[in-house]
Copies of this chain bind each other. A is one copy, B any other.
Amino acid sequence: MTESYDFTLWSHYYRDYLLSNIIPFWLRHSIDTEYGGYFTCLDRYGKVFDTDKFIWLQARQVWMFAKLYQDNDLNVSDNERKEWLKTAQHGAIFLEKYGRHPINGQWYFSLTQQGHPLIEPYNIFSSIFASMAFGQMAKIDKNNCEKYKQIALETFDDIQKRRLNPKGEWNKASDLSPRKLKSFALPMMMCNLSMELEHLIDKQLIQTLTQECIQEIIVEFRQADSGLILEYINANDGSRNDSFEGRLLNPGHGIEAMWFLLDIAERQNNKELTTICIDTIIKILEYSWDEKYNGIFYFLDIEQRPPQQLEWDQKLWWVHLETLIALIKAIDHQPERTNELLGWLNKVQKYTIDHFVDSEGGELYGYLNRQGEVLLNLKGGKWKGCYHVPRAFYLCYKTLDKISKKK
């Protein structure tokens, strides 16, 4: 069967919804003009239902607006772009002022609306997203360029120091435990971060780090037999660990990592890596697609045993959006596989638009039950902010536009 897909039409769709709906939604509802930073807990229509400020989401929103501002080809007015710059600055000021622990300088997990600390810096990903945010701010905020560069680099150094024991004192694993696992999330995010900071960091360091992470992901976390990616493996030799953690699959995570690696493979002109990434995307989709109700499962067990996560069968926005990015990039990088990839792209895109996009309330729903019905009708919360949705619509637009212009 030959799959059809109108690259030009869909590139317009992603651009239009991004610029006429998604970005205005966040500009209208998320700016805290009183205390700075952003509200992210927004109900279906954008009303704030909780005022806590989560560093992941504060930093990601800074990053997003800084990224958009840098794109001169979006064909929007100067005023609009200036508002994006202002919005990014608004979050960066709040983060700089309140985001870090006064003694160890690490990034908190969450703050009150006013910026008082709530949850300690137990989570290294707060630092990763902060580093990405200030790395982008250093590019666009001329008056604060040096200062923001400094913050990005200090944070990057801290991440490097903490990598081997990212949970630090909050690690609940016993010192006496025979089970030492390493997590896929870390090399995955380090790949992303090293691309993000390449304008600030020594090229050789970036290259070594990137190669290490690619090696770990492709050779260790990816299972040669099934092509699936495990969330945790034995730290010493990368082998499988027969435990809840060691059997866990997080399909969205694996697919998201594959498009990070596709970007790296493109720069390195590494065709072999490109092929492995695309094969892996397809293997993960084949394993994780819900044949009964459609959509991609949130968590699975590689031995098909019951997973720990009660939310395993839910359909999450970011899983589907990361898959769209990955599939569209895959088509861009290996056009000869377009037909095979379009089968999946049409399926995942239809599911996403039918179930996640909320043209009445705006933006996208985040959490559906297995059947595809809305489980929580929020547009933002503790984990969903101004990030996966605009990033995906932006990258899908850019990549589809590129493909359609090549044709």
Contacts and interface: CB of A to CB of B under 8 A. Distances in A.
Contacts of A49: 305-306
Q: Please classify how large the interface on chain A is, using the bins under 10, 10 to 19, 20 to 34, 35 or more.
A: 35 or more
A381 B119 contact: no
Nearest to A116: B178
A57 B79 CA distance: 61
A295 B406 CA distance: 56
Given A172-B109, A369-B370, A370-B369, A306 B378 contact: yes
A305 B244 contact: no
A110 to B, nearest CB: 9
Nearest to A246: B50
A69 interface: no
A220 interface: no
Interface string A183-227: 000000000000000000000000000000000000000000000
A289 interface: no
The secondary-structure label for the interface of chain A is loop
Nearest to A169: B169
A173 B118 contact: yes
B176 A50 contact: no
Interface in A237-251: 242-244
A172 B122 CA distance: 7
A340 interface: no
Contacts of A381: 306, 308
A186 B243 CA distance: 30
Interface stretch (A19-27, A81-89, A140-148, A310-318): A310-318
Given A109-B172, A305-B50, A382-B244, A177 B310 contact: no
How many copies of this protein are present in the complex?
2
A388 interface: no
A311 B308 contact: no
A279 interface: no
Given A310-B314, A378-B306, A244 B117 contact: no
Interface in A21-77: 43, 49-50, 52
Contacts of A378: 306
A353 interface: no
A243 B280 CA distance: 41
A376 interface: yes
A120 interface: yes
Contacts of A119: 172-174, 177
A367 B312 CA distance: 12
A260 interface: no
A52 B116 contact: no
* Central interface residue in A50, A112, A179, by most chain B CB within 10 Å: A50
Contacts of A311: 310-311
A177 B244 contact: no
Given A310-B376, A378-B306, A381-B308, A176 B243 contact: no
A282 interface: no
A153 interface: no
A118 B310 CA distance: 22
Contacts of A297: none
Contact of A306 (B305, B307, B376): B376
Given A172-B119, A172-B170, A177-B116, A50 B310 contact: no
19 contacts: A50-B242, A50-B244, A50-B305, A112-B178, A112-B179, A116-B178, A117-B176, A118-B177, A120-B173, A120-B174, A122-B172, A306-B381, A308-B381, A310-B311, A310-B375, A310-B376, A312-B376, A313-B369, A369-B369
The 4 closest A-B pairs by CB, nearest first: A117-B174, A310-B311, A49-B305, A306-B376
